[in-house]
C-alpha cells in the first residue's frame, strides 16, 4: 500500500499529464464530473482476470433480445464520466442495454485501459487473457441477466477506451457485431513500452495488409464475419495523432477485404467516408471532426459537454448507433456478414518477429524488462518541469519502475507471499 501511495504522489507532482480538449480539463481520478444517470454495478461475471469493473444502465421497458452496447471511458475517467457521451439517453429512446466498463486505479494509476499490454505483460492483447477475457465475461453476464441479443453486441470507446473497443473487436470477433473508436489507435499497435508514445502521436504507418494481419493473428481460426467499424477523430487532436484514424481504417477495410477507396460525403458539416460490402452494407466508416482536439463529439440534445466531451454539432453516439442499426438508422446488421471472407482472401499468418508479415516495424525489439515496458496509455508522460508532451526518459523509467513494483506486489499478495 505504501508503494501505491508513493506512486500516486509522483504522478500528481508532474510526471504524467493528459491533454485537454477545447479548453476543458481532465476530471480528477475517482470523481464524477457531473450528476449522471444512475448506474448499477454488476458483479460476479466470471474470473475477471483483468480486474475490471462493470456498471449497467437498463431502461424501463427493455425486452428480451435487446441490443447491448459496452462503453469504455478514457484515461482519468470512470464509468460515470462516460455517461456524458449520451448512450444512456439514447438507450431510453430505443430500449437497449448499456454496459459501462471501468478501469480501476489498482490496474492503471490513470485509469487508462491497457491496450498495449499491462506493465510489460502482453496478455491483455492476447485472446482469452487479461482485460479482453474480462470483457467477454461481462458480455456473457449481461446476456444471462438481461437476455440481450448475442448477435447485436457492440463496443464503443474514447481515447484509451477507443483503443480498448478495437481490441475487444479484434480478440472476440464472434462476440461483437460492431465497434466504434473515438480518438483511439489500431489494434496491436505495440506491446513495447518505448513505442507507446509513438503509437499515440504521430501514430504508426503500416500497410493495410500489415495492420490486417495483426487482427487475423489475434484469432487465427476465425472464419468471419468480422465486426463492422466506425472511426472518429478530431483534426486538431493534440494527444492522439489524427493519422490514427487513417490507420484504423486501413486495418479494418483490409480485414473485411474491401477496396481502399471509400465513398466520401458530408454529415452534419463533417467529413465522412464509408466502405461497403458487395451487398451494399456499410462495413467501415470514418468521421474527421474539423478543429476538434482530444474529445468525444456531441451536439445539442446529445450528451453533456465537459471534460473531453465537446459540442461540435454532431452526435457521435446517435451516428454510431445508426451505423450499428440499433437506433433507426439506415445501416442494418448484415445478414450475410457483408464481407467476402474473414481474411480478405488471405491466409492467417503467424506473428513474425521480422515484422513483414505481422506489421511489426523492422528494427523494433521486445523486452522482458518490466521497467522498459508498461501499459498502453493515451496520456503523455514527461519529466517534472518539462513542457513537452512526449515521453521523457526520466519520467518513463521512474513511472515504469514504480508501476511495475506495484504490480509485482499485488501479484505477490494474491499468491500468498511478500517480500
Q: What pTM does this model have?
A: 0.77
pLDDT at 346 over 80: no
pLDDT at site 31:
32
pLDDT band at 261 (very low <50, low <70, confident <90, very high): confident
Between 135 and 25, whose confidence is greater? 135
Between residues 7 and 301, the one the model is more confident about: 301
b/e per residue 24-62 (b: at least 16 CB within 10 A): bebbebeeebeebeebeebeebeebbbebbbbbbbbeeb
CATH number of the domain at 19-366, please?
3.40.50.1820
Is 14 a residue whose pLDDT tops 70? no
Q: For residues 303 and 396, which has the higher predicted lDDT (pLDDT)?
A: 303
pLDDT at 282 over 80: yes
CB 200 within 8 A of CB 238: no
pLDDT band at 328 (very low <50, low <70, confident <90, very high): confident
* Cβ 358 vs Cβ 213: under 8 Å: yes
Q: Is 5 exposed, middle or buried (0-12, 13-18, 19+ CB in 10 A)?
A: exposed
Residue 68 to residue 64: CA distance in whole angstroms: 11
pLDDT of 315 over the 50 cut: yes
| Cell, residue 304 | 453533456
Active-site hit among 33, 134, 159, 277: 159
pLDDT tens sequence across 92-144: 999 999 999 999 999 999 999 999 998 778 999 999 999 999 999 999 999 99
What's the distance, CA 408 to chain centroid? 25
Backbone angles phi, psi at 39, to 5 degrees: -110, 150
Q: Where is average pLDDT lowest: 181-190, 203-212, 325-334, 381-390? A: 381-390
Question: What's the rounded Cα separation, in Å, for the pair 139 and 141?
Answer: 5
Mean residue pLDDT across the chain: 78
Q: What is the pLDDT of residue 275?
A: 97
- pLDDT above 90 as % of the chain: 64
330 band by pLDDT with thresholds 50, 70 and 90: low
**130-146 burial code (b ≥16 CB/10 A, e <16):** bbbbbbbbbbebbbeeb
When pLDDT is cut at 50, 70 and 90, the band that residue 378 belongs to is: very low
- Active-site residue flag, 159: yes
Please state, in angstroms and as integers, the Cα–Cα distance from residue 307 to each residue in 19, 46, 357, following that order: 11, 33, 40
pLDDT digits (tens, 9 = 90+) for 40-94: 999 999 999 999 999 999 999 999 999 999 999 999 999 999 999 999 999 999 9
Answer for the pair 62, 13: CB distance below 8 angstroms, yes or no: no
What are the residue ranges spanned by the domains of the chain? Answer: 1-18+379-419, 19-366
Instruction: Give residue 194's pLDDT band: very low, low, confident or very high (50, 70, 90).
Output: confident
pLDDT of residue 103: 98
Amino acid at each position: 500500500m505504501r508503494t501505491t501511495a508513493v506512486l500516486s504522489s509522483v504522478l500528481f507532482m508532474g510526471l504524467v499529464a493528459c491533454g485537454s480538449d477545447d479548453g476543458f480539463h481532465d476530471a480528477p481520478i475517482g470523481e464524477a464530473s457531473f450528476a449522471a444517470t444512475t448506474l448499477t454495478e454488476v458483479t460476479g461475471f466470471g474470473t475477471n482476470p483483468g480486474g475490471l469493473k462493470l456498471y449497467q444502465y437498463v431502461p424501463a421497458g427493455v425486452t428480451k433480445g435487446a441490443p447491448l452496447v459496452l462503453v469504455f471511458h478514457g484515461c482519468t475517467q470512470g464509468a460515470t464520466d462516460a455517461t456524458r457521451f449520451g448512450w444512456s439517453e439514447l438507450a431510453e429512446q430505443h430500449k437497449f442495454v448499456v454496459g459501462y466498463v471501468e478501469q480501476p486505479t489498482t490496474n492503471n494509476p490513470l485509469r487508462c485501459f491497457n491496450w498495449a499490454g499491462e506493465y510489460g505483460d502482453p496478455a491483455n492483447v492476447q485472446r482469452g487473457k487479461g482485460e479482453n477475457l474480462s470483457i467477454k465475461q461481462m458480455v456473457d453476464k449481461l446476456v444471462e441477466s438481461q437476455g440481450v441479443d448475442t448477435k447485436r453486441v457492440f463496443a464503443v470507446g474514447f481515447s484509451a477506451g477507443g483503443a480498448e473497443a478495437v481490441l475487444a473487436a479484434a480478440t472476440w470477433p464472434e462476440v461483437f457485431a460492431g465497434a466504434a473508436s473515438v480518438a483511439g489507435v489500431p489494434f496491436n499497435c505495440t506491446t513495447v513500452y518505448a513505442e507507446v508514445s509513438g503509437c499515440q502521436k504521430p501514430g504508426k504507418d503500416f500497410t493495410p495488409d500489415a495492420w490486417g494481419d495483426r487482427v487475423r493473428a489475434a484469432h487465427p481460426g476465425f472464419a468471419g464475419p468480422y465486426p463492422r467499424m466506425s472511426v472518429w477523430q478530431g483534426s486538431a487532436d493534440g494527444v492522439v495523432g489524427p493519422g490514427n484514424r487513417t490507420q484504423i481504417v486501413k486495418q479494418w477495410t483490409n480485414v473485411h477485404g474491401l477496396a481502399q477507396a471509400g465513398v466520401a460525403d458530408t454529415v452534419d458539416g463533417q467529413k465522412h467516408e464509408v466502405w461497403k460490402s458487395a451487398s451494399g452494407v456499410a462495413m467501415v466508416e470514418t468521421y474527421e471532426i474539423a478543429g476538434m482536439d482530444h474529445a468525444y463529439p456531441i451536439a445539442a440534445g446529445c450528451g453533456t459537454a465537459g471534460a473531453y466531451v465537446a459540442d461540435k454539432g454532431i452526435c457521435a453516439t446517435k451516428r454510431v448507433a445508426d451505423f450499428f442499426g440499433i437506433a433507426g438508422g439506415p445501416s442494418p446488421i448484415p445478414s450475410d456478414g457483408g464481407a467476402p471472407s474473414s481474411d480478405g482472401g488471405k491466409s492467417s499468418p503467424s506473428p513474425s518477429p521480422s515484422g513483414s508479415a505481422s506489421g511489426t516495424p523492422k528494427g523494433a525489439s521486445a523486452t522482458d524488462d518490466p521497467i522498459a515496458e508498461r501499459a498502453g496509455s493515451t496520456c503523455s508522460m514527461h519529466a517534472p518541469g518539462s513542457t513537452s508532451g512526449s515521453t521523457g526518459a526520466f519520467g518513463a523509467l521512474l513511472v515504469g519502475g514504480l508501476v511495475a513494483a506495484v504490480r509485482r506486489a499485488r501479484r505477490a499478495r494474491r499468491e500468498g507471499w511478500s517480500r
